[in-house]
Structure 1
Amino acid sequence: MKILSIQSAVAYGHVGNSAAVFPLQRIGVEVIPVNTVNFSNHTGYGAWRGPLISPEQVGEVITGVEERGAFPQIDVVLSGYQGGVGIGDVIVDAVQRVKAANPDALYACDPVMGNAKSGCFVAPEIPDLLRDRVVPNADIITPNQFELGFLTGTEPASLESTLASVELARAMGPSVVLVTSVERPDRDPETIEMLVVDDAGRWIIQTPLLPFKANGSGDVTAALFAAHYGETRDAKLALERTASSVFDLVELTYRSGQRELQLVEAQEFYANPRLQFTATAV
């Protein structure tokens, strides 16, 4: 499998491509990373250095990859945090060109906007761009509950309202929706869930909730799910593999006492998921 991953990158820590590339490589995926920013660290620190890469330069890199004849071999295009407004159009154009070269290719979009606790942390124009231009071109989207609500103009909370919001999102274009953090009021408060819906069914999986915010864990989640789904076209299995790997990564990081993901130390959890959690149909 080969994935074209168009995301941010940081020198210190693990978010964007700096979170996604190594886990993908560890499960045997050939990754072509195209960076949209080259920051010293993620913006959660409140200070960072380095350039935002212009849409024109990102497009030039993608065109160079195309000129090497890579597009017919790409199975999945993956995108995450979009630092600038013009990047969305560059990504959509790349997706269309990849699909022209390989009609079986999938586009997996992580519509990064924010979360319920922090609110929206991207440029004001980005959420509308994602909703109106990018998501309709996606086959797979991986929003959290907050992002799902923005995309669909709803307030998903219960399982029923979240499923209804997912169907609204699927009506926009994507056939596969993975909701990466479902916090329904009637759940055990010490747990968190992920929910996936595709044409074959709807599945939910529950894991312990760790008292820890791990920047980049969503990027790992989106990358692993896109790869597992792209390989198997089995949403339940892809969800189980992803939940297993990401929980073990976050737990290892939490126990280490470090702020940044212990991405390398957790590598066996990607290569050999324990499958300790079972997804159930809903």
Structure 2
Amino acid sequence: MSAETDSGDALRPIFMDVVSVQSQVVYGHVGNNVALPTLRAHGLNVAAVPTVMFSNTPHYPTLHGGALPTDWFGGYLSDLSARGALQRLKAILVGYLGNPEQVAVLSRWINQVLAEYPDVQVIVDPVIGDHDTGIYVADGMVE
């Protein structure tokens, strides 16, 4: 097998069943830390698109990290489309979003995906806060 063939095989699309757009934490079980193993246990291919990278949930006395830069976030989404990974997509799962700019980028991307793949289900878990910590999303997210 030539290097050209090997390279071509490596660049074949990995078809995703679900794109999970949620938080990621170093310590804890929320967002994509829960979604990925759960969905994969059901035999689904999942692309995890992080919206934020935090040390832990806001229930602890310290919290480090923040929203991913908007250009990175948008690039992650557009590159999934560019790689051909969405041809068999069944669902887009949306959880915690880091800021209003991510909402705008994600909304445009979802509309593009639905224009090409109208049977894709969009599932939104509108994460805003918790009973013990109150609202913990970025300013402008609740309006």
TM-score by length of 1: 0.43
* 1:15 aligned counterpart, secondary structure: coil
Cα distance in 2 for residues equivalent to 1:46 and 1:72: 43
Q: Does 1:120 align with 2:135?
A: yes
Contact 1:72 / 1:101 at 8 angstroms: preserved in 2?
A: no
Stretches of structure 1 that go unaligned for 5 or more consecutive residues are 129-282
Q: Tell me which of 107, 112, 125 is aligned to 2:122.
A: 107
After superposition, the C-alpha distances for 1:153-181 in whole angstroms (9 at most, x for unaligned) are xxxxxxxxxxxxxxxxxxxxxxxxxxxxx
1:95-244 map, 5 Å = 95-128=110-143
Asked whether the 8 Å contact 1:10–1:18 carries over to 2, the reply is yes
Asked whether 1:65 is paired with 2:65, we answer no
Q: Say which structure is richer in helix.
A: 1
Deviations 1:77-100 (A, max 9, x none): 111111212111111112112112
Structure 1 counterpart SS, 2:73:
helix
**Distance in 2 of aligned mates of 1:79 and 1:46:** 27
Shift, 1:51, TM fit: 4.1
Length, aligned pairs only: 128
Alignment match, 1:4: 19
- Which structure 2 segments of 5+ residues have no match? 1-15
Aligned partner of residue 59 in structure 2, secondary structure:
helix
2:44 is the alignment partner of 1:22: no
Superposition RMSD on alpha carbons, in Å?
Answer: 1.6
Amino acid at match of 2:77: I
Q: Of the two structures, which has the highest relative contact order with CA contacts closer than 8 Å and spacing of 6 or more?
A: 2
Asked which structure has the greater CA Rg, the reply is 1
Task: Please report how far the alpha carbon of residue 124 of structure 1 lies from its aligned counterpart in structure 2 after TM superposition.
Answer: 3.1
3-state DSSP class of the match of 1:45?
Answer: coil
- Alpha-carbon distance in structure 2 between the residues aligned to 1:108 and 1:102: 15
1:53 aligned to 2:36?
Answer: no
| One-letter identity of the residue aligned with 2:82 | E
What secondary structure, in the 3-state scheme, does the structure 2 residue paired with 1:71 have? coil
Tell me the CA shift for residue 116 of structure 1: 4.4
2:13 corresponds to: none
- Larger mean CA deviation between 49-58 and 89-98 belongs to 49-58
Task: Provide TM-score, normalisation by structure 2.
Answer: 0.81
Structure 2 counterpart of 1:75, from 90, 105, 121: 90
Q: In 2, distance between residues paired with 1:28 and 1:17?
A: 16
**Deviant stretches of 4+, over 4 Å:** none
Q: Which amino acid aligns with 2:34?
A: A
Q: Does the CA-based 8 Å contact 2:70-2:101 persist in structure 1?
A: yes
CA distance in 2, matches of 1:11, 1:114: 19
